[in-house]
Amino acid sequence: MTGPTRRQTLAMAGSAGLLAAPALSAGRAHVVVVGGGFGGTAAARTLKEIAPDTDVTLVVDADRFSTCPFSNLVLADEIPLSRITFGFDAVAAAGVSVRVGVAAEIDAARKVVVLQDGNEIGFDRAIVSPGIDLNFGAIPGYDAGAAQRMPHAWKAGVQTELLRDQIGAMPPGGTFVMSVPNNPYRCPPGPYERASLVAHRLSRINPTAKIIIVDGKDSFSKQSLFMEGWDRLYPGMITHVPFAENGGVKDVDAATLTVEAAFETFRGDVVNVIPPQTAAGVALRSGLAGDGDWCQIDQATFESETAPGVHVLGDAAIVGDMPKSGFSASVQGAVCAHVVASWLKGAEPVSDAVLLNTCYSLLSPDYGISVAGVYRVNAEGRLKSVRDAGGNSPMAADDGVRQAEAGFALSWYDTLTRQLFG
């Protein structure tokens, strides 16, 4: 195995960012996990649990992580950001070395993760789950500066609070404009949950306000269920303008809060621009996405098609038919940990298991809907949706069903985040 170099060991020992440092021992395998979200944290904790004799380092770019799931409840002013923000103390206590630092590059040839500060961490295998980056530049006029005026709030944190406060300060009868990208992007139903929960808030504090969704596609996840709920809960408040009717967003202007689409100009009092996305920069810089925007992997083992020894999962990767969701990423992280543990021990990984995903969406705090998927690796090595399984919540269900699903959503969130961060 490749142990850490003397320079790395010294750098790690001297790093204030290191939360816990079990000594890296000669002769033990070292797996470095990049990304402290759902995928990376699940991978690191699962691997340490099933292979305690493996040294596991989790590289996180900040000492706190705010989840995108449930961040729309923050926008709705139902919960504070602190409710969806977690630290890594429990991860460290579980025996994982948590390293706070920005991963600049994964060098598969040299088997090192290069940090922005120049330090390097050697690995036998790496698991990379760095999430997405917003593709500033995809929409003319939308850059990091414009995002201060027209927040994306598609990475939870300060952007979420910024948009929450803008919604609260919107003039009576004002317009909330949301620009939504074409697929693929993080959390397919997320924009429509956001429109719902913003409507929930506005219906109380600003009941004559309007919400306009300028969509980069013609149809969306759970569309019938969302529209049924909007008619029921917020009649007349939300207008969805599909791609065929707007012709696509051409540019935005932060000074005038305008979204210019091919067929129509939308001016808002609050504008939420959710731009197109790519795999996080560290994955692109490391060549893990080839010439594309997303990382291509072996869908049975998550191993990169371009970088042997490096596994990629979560939102940054194309993981067969699985959507880019926190649920999917956490399942993929745990399954990938089993693959890596098997290979480190010279065993064949399980390849005939079932993987699941559920995306819950809240239309109000007590009105939930879901889409579920079941995935298996087929004979060609593709992780495909199992036919005749999965699917959406029923249409025209009574309040009890919707309330129960809202309860399941909360239960899912708390159970998963307790396991990852608690």
Partner 1 sequence: MFKNLILLGFLFMGAAAAAQSTTAEVTYLSCAVCHGDGQGDDAIPAIQGRPHDMLLASLSSFAAEGGTATIMHRFITALTPAEMDDLARHISGLEGVAQ
Report the interface residues with partner 1, using CB under 8 A: 46, 50-51, 327, 330-331, 334-335, 338, 341-342, 345-347, 349-350, 352-358, 370, 372, 374, 376, 386, 388-394, 401, 404, 407-408, 410-412, 414-416, 418-419, 422
The residue (of 187 and 252) whose beta carbon lies closer to partner 1 is: 187
Between 131 and 276, CB nearer to partner 1: 131
Residue 176 near residue 203 (C-beta atoms within 8 A): no
Q: What token pair was written down for 280?
A: 């996080």
11 vs 335, beta carbon nearer partner 1: 335
Residue 32 or residue 341: which is nearer to partner 1 going by CB?
Answer: 341
Beta carbon of residue 376, minimum distance to partner 1 (angstroms, whole number): 7
Q: Least distance (Å) from partner 1 to the CB of residue 49?
A: 10
Closest approach of partner 1 to the CB of residue 386, in Å: 4
Q: Give the whole-angstrom CA distance, residue 9 versus residue 310.
A: 22
Cβ of residue 80: shortest distance to partner 1, in angstroms?
21
| 133 close to 152: Cβ distance less than 8 angstroms | no
Give yes or no for a cis peptide into 172 (omega within 30° of 0).
no
Which is nearer to partner 1, 25 or 351 (by Cβ)? Answer: 351
Q: How far is the CB of 375 from partner 1 (least distance, A)?
A: 9
Decide whether 206 or 357 has the Cβ nearer to partner 1.
357
* Residue bearing tokens 């399980």: 350
CB atoms within 10 A of CB 156: 21
| φ, ψ of residue 254 in degrees (nearest 5) | -70, -30
Question: What six digits make up the tokens of 259?
Answer: 């979204």
Distant-in-sequence, close-in-space partners of 194: CB < 8 Å, separation ≥ 6: 72, 75, 153, 178, 272
For residue 358, CA distances in Å to 192, 215, 402, 413 come to: 16, 23, 15, 11
Nearer to partner 1 by Cβ, of 203 and 358: the residue is: 358
Tell me the closest approach of the beta carbon of residue 223 to partner 1, in angstroms.
16
Closest separation in Å from C-beta 370 to partner 1? 6
Distance between terminal CA atoms of the chain? 32
Q: Is 177 helix (H, G, I), strand (E, B) or coil?
A: strand
User: Least Å distance between CB 52 and partner 1?
Assistant: 9
Contact 176, 209 (CB under 8 A): yes
Q: Looking at beta carbons only, is 86 or 176 nearer to partner 1? A: 86
* Residue 42 token pair: 């699940």
Closest CA to 186 of 67, 286, 80: 67
